[in-house]
């Protein structure tokens, strides 16, 4: 499954994307269908299928993802106005790619609850 995962292919640079952040463990890139002026997807390079696949052994990636989100929020200026970090898990929550990922959203007023 990892070989066919579109986010794994992006992390391996097999599929072009607008990468805005990368380190040893994390890649972040612009969403193809943004719902806000800033809409960046932040993923672990290692395939983890979703929130429920986070374990004691791989949970350190969550801190690295949030540090990347902090850096990206500062880089884009949304740290001053506010932003949202969202992870969907499962089809009913809207997860369409089954690789753990977080949406960094900002650049406009965000309503709640999200529709």
> Nearest 10 degrees: CA dihedral of 34, 85, 87, 97?
30
Query: CA 78, CA 21: separation in Å to the nearest integer?
Result: 16
Identify the DSSP state of 1.
-
| Cα atoms found within 13 Å of the Cα of residue 57, Cβ hemisphere only | 3
Choosing from 13, 39, 99, 101, the catalytic residue is 101
Tokens of residue 104, six digits:
């960094």
Determine whether 13 is an active site residue: no
Active site residues: 101
């Amino acid at each position: 499954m990892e070989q066919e995962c579109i986010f794994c292919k992006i992390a391996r640079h097999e599929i072009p994307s607008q990468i805005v952040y990368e380190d040893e463990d994390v890649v972040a890139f612009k969403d193809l269908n943004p719902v806000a002026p800033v809409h960046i997807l932040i993923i672990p390079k290692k395939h983890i299928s979703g929130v429920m696949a986070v374990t004691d052994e791989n949970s350190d990636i969550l801190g690295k993802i949030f540090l990347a989100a902090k850096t990206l929020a500062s880089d884009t200026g949304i740290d001053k106005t506010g932003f949202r970090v969202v992870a969907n898990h499962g089809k009913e929550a809207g997860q369409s790619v089954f690789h753990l990922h977080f949406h960094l959203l900002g650049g406009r007023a965000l309503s709640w609850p999200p529709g």
